[in-house]
Amino acid sequence: MDLTNRLAGSTSPYLLQHADNPVAWQPWDDEALAHATELDRPLLISIGYSSCHWCHVMAHESFEDPAIAAIANRAFVPIKIDREERPDLDSLYMAATQAATGHGGWPMTVFATPDGRPFYAGTYFPPIDRGGQPGFTRVLEALEDAWATQRDSVETQADELARAVASEAQLADRLALDLPADDLDLGICLDRLIGELDQRYDDVDGGFSPAPKFPRPSYTMACLAHARATGDRPTLEMAMDSLRAMACGGIYDHLAGGFARYSVDAHWLVPHFEKMLTDQALLAPAYLAAFQLTGDESCRQVVCETLDWVLDDLGLPSGGLAASVDADAAGHEGSHAVFRPADVAAALAGRPDTLGTAEACAVFGITAEGTFEDGASVIARRRGPLRRSPAEEATRVALLEVRRSRPQPSIDDKVLTEWNAMMACTLAEASGVLGNERWGAAARQIVELLDTTQRDASGRLLRSSRSGVASGLAQLADHAWLILAMTRLFELEGDTAWLERARVVARDMITLFHDGSAATASTPEQGSGFFTTGADAPILLARAKDVLDGALPSATAVTIVALARLGRLTGDADLLAVADRTLTLVSALVSDHPLAAPDLVLALGELRSGIEIVTPGAPTELTAAAWSTYAPFALRIHGTTGHLDLMADRVEGMAYVCAGGTCRLPVSDAGSVVAEIDAAVRR
């Protein structure tokens, strides 16, 4: 049986990039797995995403090579997976790759038995032996031979790696057997996390790691929450110096707005140029909180520019948001975004409203030697305020015009439920704080899209869509972020219809994902918590529970926050109990290893240390004061929803600040609202 490339009908832009490869790629489906069993061939599984630079490199070097394709097609069943559409498969095979090699990344290359058990794994392979790495041709031929002549050894290796993957998937259940003796205390856990961050902090360039430097918004949010509660100045400076360093560096797009995925150096200067929706959704709230806490106008500027870029450049006709922008343009990484002094001179010629060439180069970090490749420079700013003079703004516009005239990177225009709901949360919160109605309207439009068209005929929430065609079962994080987005819209608009809709999603989430088989309210033993995939999804190797934070908050952390916020808003004790049992399941991780799970520490704050700020009736200056004041783990409630417990017996024209089930005396002026919030959030 000769296989043919079946990716042309895919809705994934990443898979479509490989639809013309000579490799006979199959999507991950029953048909591909059946072929592998029938032909008795191992699987060649390649996992990546559309804006991944090294994925493109391996595609050009190997997957477009007819000789390499011939080996792959005769000896394997080749399968392509978009990690963004199938994070469940990505996490399982990433665990296998890390177990086999000690590291992971994308492109991920995994060889597995026909039933999916991995037996060999790696990331990028060059086409021929290079720099100590085996060439892909040699790897394919060696594994073809091993499958034919050393089958018992291959099966043994597959069993060992499958056990390693299953063990990783069961981490949450193992943690439940090692619960800390004392109940979790937010202050203690935050102190411990901040102490560990202080040990890792780069006091020269900010951030919490050496190169390559990734933004870790959860670390920054933890620092801000700790500084707010304690008044600790060094903790605040760790957060603010990191945010300022990123905002001035090349990782921030000073011409269009928004952040690149990471910086390849320790100084935040040279980015990996891909821009992900998730990074904007997680970084903007950190800058927003920093602005609320300190009044730093550069932080406000970053929020505004980032969210406007998201809506302008990632907005789709459907009302949803595209997933990412590629790192490459015209086959070269970053070629669309870098400048040379001659480029600047040409862009500013005949523009008397702009800076001169020399001054523009100085302001935007463009040098004769270059800071990137071939004498080109990444746009960056000196450390300091980001506010632009009129001439600097005119210069920015002129440079952006030139940049937009160049070949542009491709956009991955699939709509991911998790990522869109995440951004809807950010847009709604930023709209409340900064009063931008466009952001609030966009958040509403996104959530309406997800809650209606991103479903199948039975009403089951789906993971992804493109050009109006939705596919793939939504996973735990999709549901949790959608619940959060609906609670944020309730806070913004005061319409309890959002809470009713959120309760429907929460009911589905608990039905599909909750493992309550061995859990009780008093004994959250092995078996509680939430699986990342639904009960209606096929199980491969293991059904995992996602508890460790990575580039995104763990699905468990987001679920706890979603249930905590919805339970607090509605007074639903059952939702709060489920959230509490889930947190207790991973309490050993929160208590002993907070650096690995900062979002679980923040989830602890949402569940057990949150405050409520209630301003009954239509929005007033009291409501504005509640929004403008930084209050970690706060709910802001307004409107005429008297049937909510939080609104019972509340009087319009007054503000009520409550914490731990106790309300402070009502106040009637904005200054007093701020003072009451300050008192409630301080230790």
Phi, psi of 79 (to 5 degrees): -130, 130
Please indicate, yes or no, whether residues 156 and 262 belong to a single structural domain of this protein.
no
- Amino acid letter for position 362: A
Burial class (CB in 10 A: 0-12, 13-18, 19+), 384: exposed
According to DSSP, the residues that pair with 639 across neighbouring strands are 616, 617
Please indicate, yes or no, whether residues 219 and 314 belong to a single structural domain of this protein.
yes
Please indicate, yes or no, whether residues 47 and 162 belong to a single structural domain of this protein.
yes
Rounded distance, CA 261 to CA 169, Å? 27
Q: Has residue 441 been placed in a domain? A: no
Rounded distance, CA 301 to CA 387, Å? 8
Please indicate, yes or no, whether residues 88 and 217 belong to a single structural domain of this protein.
no
Mean of the per-residue pLDDT values for the chain? 93
Task: Yes or no: say if 680 and 605 are a contact pair by the CB < 8 Å rule.
Answer: no
> What's the pLDDT tens digit per position in 222-246?
999 999 999 999 999 999 999 999 9
Half-sphere CA count of 149, side-chain side, radius 13 A = 6
Q: What is the CATH number of the domain that holds 60?
A: 3.40.30.10
Q: What is the pLDDT of residue 241?
A: 97
Q: What is the pLDDT of residue 320?
A: 97
Sheet containing 275-276: order of strands: 275-276, 324-325, 411-412
Q: Which residue has the tokens 């430097």?
A: 213
State both tokens at 458.
């039975």
* Interior/surface letters 637-670, b for 16+ CB within 10 angstroms, e for the rest: bbbebeebebbeebeeebbbbbbeeebbebbeeb
What's the N-to-C CA distance of the chain in angstroms? 69
Q: Has residue 281 been placed in a domain? A: yes
What confidence category does residue 650 fall into, taking pLDDT thresholds of 50, 70 and 90? Answer: confident
**Cα-based torsion angle of the residue sequence 446, 451, 452, 458 in order, rounded to the nearest 10 degrees:** 150
The residue from 371, 393, 410 where one domain ends is 410
* Interior/surface letters 563-596, b for 16+ CB within 10 angstroms, e for the rest: bbbbbbbbebeebbebbbbbbbbbbbbbbebbbe
Find the mean pLDDT for residues 608-625.
93
> What's the pLDDT tens digit per position in 16-50?
999 999 999 999 999 999 999 999 999 999 999 99
Q: What is the pLDDT of residue 129?
A: 87
Please indicate, yes or no, whether residues 218 and 284 belong to a single structural domain of this protein.
yes
Of the chain, the percentage scoring pLDDT greater than 90 comes to: 85
Question: Quick check: 585 pLDDT over 50?
Answer: yes
H or E segment and range at residue 564: helix 555-570
Whether omega before 409 lies within 30 degrees of 0, making that bond cis, reads no
Q: Has residue 155 been placed in a domain? A: yes
Q: Has residue 93 been placed in a domain? A: yes
Please indicate, yes or no, whether residues 387 and 271 belong to a single structural domain of this protein.
yes
Q: Has residue 226 been placed in a domain? A: yes
Rounded distance, CA 82 to CA 13, Å? 9
Residue (of 271, 277, 270, 263) closest to 306 by Cα position: 277
Q: Which residue has the tokens 């995994």?
A: 110
Question: Quick check: 76 pLDDT over 50?
Answer: yes
Please indicate, yes or no, whether residues 165 and 218 belong to a single structural domain of this protein.
no
Least confident of 89-98, 350-359, 513-522: 513-522
Number of domains in the chain: 3
Rounded distance, CA 254 to CA 337, Å? 10
3-class SS of residue 499: helix
Task: Yes or no: say if 615 and 623 are a contact pair by the CB < 8 Å rule.
Answer: yes
> What's the pLDDT tens digit per position in 202-217?
999 999 999 999 999 9
State both tokens at 270.
């040279």
Rounded distance, CA 438 to CA 421, Å? 16
Please indicate, yes or no, whether residues 250 and 318 belong to a single structural domain of this protein.
yes
Find the mean pLDDT for residues 319-326.
96
The residue from 410, 434, 455 where one domain ends is 410
3-class SS of residue 209: coil
Task: Yes or no: say if 411 and 339 are a contact pair by the CB < 8 Å rule.
Answer: no
According to DSSP, the residues that pair with 509 across neighbouring strands are none
H or E segment and range at residue 119: strand 118-122
Alpha helical stretches, state H, 317-436: 341-348, 357-363, 390-405, 417-434
Least confident of 187-191, 303-307, 636-640: 636-640
Q: Output the CA–CA distances (angstroms, integers) from residue 243 to 12, 99, 284, 461, 502, in the order listed.
A: 33, 34, 10, 36, 33
Q: Has residue 349 been placed in a domain? A: yes
What confidence category does residue 523 fall into, taking pLDDT thresholds of 50, 70 and 90? Answer: very low
What confidence category does residue 169 fall into, taking pLDDT thresholds of 50, 70 and 90? Answer: confident
Please indicate, yes or no, whether residues 163 and 238 belong to a single structural domain of this protein.
no
Question: Quick check: 289 pLDDT over 50?
Answer: yes
The residue from 370, 394, 410 where one domain ends is 410
Sheet containing 462-466: order of strands: 415-416, 462-466, 469-473
Burial class (CB in 10 A: 0-12, 13-18, 19+), 273: buried
Q: Which residue has the tokens 């160049």?
A: 406
Q: Has residue 336 been placed in a domain? A: yes
What confidence category does residue 521 fall into, taking pLDDT thresholds of 50, 70 and 90? Answer: very low
Q: What is the pLDDT of residue 182?
A: 66
Question: Quick check: 559 pLDDT over 70?
Answer: yes
Rounded distance, CA 168 to CA 93, Å? 11
Alpha helical stretches, state H, 364-468: 390-405, 417-434, 437-452
State both tokens at 444.
């509403």
Please indicate, yes or no, whether residues 153 and 229 belong to a single structural domain of this protein.
no
Please indicate, yes or no, whether residues 105 and 234 belong to a single structural domain of this protein.
no
Contacts of 509 (CB under 8 A, 6+ apart): 476, 479, 480, 483, 530, 559, 562
Task: Yes or no: say if 163 and 172 are a contact pair by the CB < 8 Å rule.
Answer: no
Please indicate, yes or no, whether residues 404 and 322 belong to a single structural domain of this protein.
yes
Q: Which residue has the tokens 């008093």?
A: 522
Q: What is the CATH number of the domain that holds 632?
A: 3.40.30
Q: Has residue 600 been placed in a domain? A: no
Domain that residue 290 falls in: 201-410
Rounded distance, CA 179 to CA 184, Å? 10
Q: Residue 62: how many CB atoms within 10 A of its CB?
A: 26
